[in-house]
Structure 1
Amino acid sequence: MLVPALALAVAGLGAPAAAAPAASVLECAGKPATIVGTPGFDDIVGTPAADVIVALDGDDAIRGLGGDDTICGGDGEDVIFGQNGDDLVLGGAGHDIIQGGAGDDDVRGGAGHDIVGGGNGDDDVIGDVGHDRLTGGNGRDFMSGDAGDDHIFGNDDFDVLLGDAGNDRLSGGRENDLIFGGANNDILSGGHGDDGLDGGPGNDTLTGGDGDDGLVGGSGNDQLSGGAGSDGLEGDDGNDRLTGGSGDDGLGGGSGDDILIGGDGNDGLNGGNGRDQISGGKGTELIFGGAGDDIIQGGSDSDRILGDAGNDRIHGNGGDDIIDGGAGNDYASGGNGNDRMEGGSGNDRLFGNADDDNLDGQTGVNFNNGGAGTNICQNPAVGPGC
């Protein structure tokens, strides 16, 4: 049952004893209502024109039809379809199901655990308070979970996803997306396309997926995986685990005790501050240990490795490697291949292992062991296998 807007009037002969009170006018988002529901269940259907619908309390079913509609679901568990037009839909309190439909819509779930979809068009989809499920649909969408543990899906076209507060799961979809986890422990997935992911505060899990992605863990102990493509990964604060995957990747651990794995491709890895563990994987790698006592594995190809400051342990493994221990008391092993090794400052131990190696202990009290092959040793000039 629909209740039309009432106008109160007082008519009579002679002067009235008192003026009649003015009728209250219901509004939605500051607009006077053209269709008003009841406190109970209503099945409300708009018109082809622009409607302003106020459903009031109760579990209501609302369809806007055509026009640029403004819809307030009110309290209760409502099912709302904006349908055609650029609609503003406010779910209100209760666990609502809202679909914006065709057009550029602004859809907000309100309090409660809501299921909200923008539909076709460039939409703003906001979950508000509660554990919400948000879907953008076709078009360039902006989605924000706001408070609560939300699931947010970008779908087609370029989307911006914001988890905000809560432990959120965000998936970018098919195109190039920007995804921000916000506070707490979030799970971010870029999907297809060249995506940008920022975990924000908390212990987050970020996966770039296909494409050339940029991932930033933010504060907290994060896990970052670039996936396919040439990706850039930055752990930032905390003890992070970074895996480049396939492609030519750049990995930066930031501060904290980090684990960096280059994977396939020609990668650049920088441990940053902290006691880091770095593995180059396949491909020609450029590796910097950074400050701290690091453990570095060069991989199967010809790598360039700088231990930097700290007492580092470096293994070149396969390939013709160039190794510089940097400052500190370092241990370096060239592995197979014709390696060039420098100890840097500090008391270093250098082992060439197989093939023809060039070892230079440089400053400090050093020990050189060239191993098998025709080797050159400096500082000291002699040693086992030299």
Structure 2
Amino acid sequence: MDQESKGLLLKQIKEGGYLPDAMVDVHKVLANAGMELYAKLCCDRIEAAGLVDGVHVSHGSPTSWKLQMDSQGIGLCREILGAYLQPQNLDDMQKLLQSCQDYYTSLNNMLYSLRKMSVDDLKAVRVEKFAYKVSEQDIKDITDLYEAERKCRRIPSSVRRTGNRITFVYHMLRHFHGPVRILWPFIREAWRCWDTIGISDCIDDRQGKYSKALRRFTEGHGGTRGIKNLQVDDLAKYIFLAVKAYGMDGIESLNRSRGPKSCLMIDRRYQDLKQVMEAIGRLTPAELLRMYPVEKKFNGTRWNEKDYFYTMDKLRCWPADQPLGGANDVACLLWDYQNWDLDEVLIEWMHVIGDLRIYCNDPAPNDEFHRKMEKARMSNGEK
């Protein structure tokens, strides 16, 4: 491991955060190109075009007209930026930002891996728990990282980081202008996002109509934690919007990143999708059938494939008047359930638990799913 990377990791371990996205200031870029007089006009045009999404293109500060953008933001604003900068300069800048972002993502994955380890794993320096394969030459550096992470979990360091988090939430509240009913969800989300501030991978930036409707519905019902308290009609509305959002809107954004996958993004997506699966798990099989009728295909025996009769046979194995259960219980049922909308949600679930195992060294959800599948096959007498 090179010493620059080690130094960045040790600094972030001490501060308790992650490396932010690599972004450029539009004003500085134009100034360096001799176009400083046009910087404000360029930023105004970008904002007027509705390209400031707060993720890939954002304000440098809440009161400034200056804009910052990452490599994807340059792609979004390329037509406007092209009026002030040479295409070759834009290409070079975009490639450089993408390279920096891939580098930061790799380091953030290492930090994520360290923070997921137990104290016993850190003391024993179990390198097999690390996100990347460790060579003999890197053992000393990895040992130093383990020791630094272990020290930061002691009480003095924890108190200092908690103080930093409280300060961050306070500054976020100073800019809060929403209704009082979403104040507490806003505080919880700010507390949750403190260590990932400035990282667009952790932000759900899907722009589909169902994703936007889902965000509005969630904010109006107490945030993500309020989902557990939804009943009857509200629960059905949430499930409908979530299935559409993670199906139609989700497939479009799946695997769109060309660089290394971010464990922070994967974990956030897993937590959000797990909440959706658990909401479906509160339904009984009869309620699920009413919301999502089984596809009317009846020639499964002829073509040796799943059809309506196959799904109904599998449903008889589930108690008709009891909730379906947890996230992986729902996934096991959806494996045999013939409905296009639910098929897309299952694909998303399989992708995210697979990514947790492959990229984040967390095989637990994937292993649990396969255990439940094997148990279901054994109970049905299948080989």
Q: Which TM-score tier does this pair reach, normalised by the shorter chain? A: under 0.3
TM-score, structure 2 normalization: 0.20
TM-score, structure 1 normalization: 0.19
- Structure having the higher strand fraction is 1
Structure with greater contact order relative to length (CA < 8 Å, sep ≥ 6): 2
- Structure having the higher helix fraction is 2
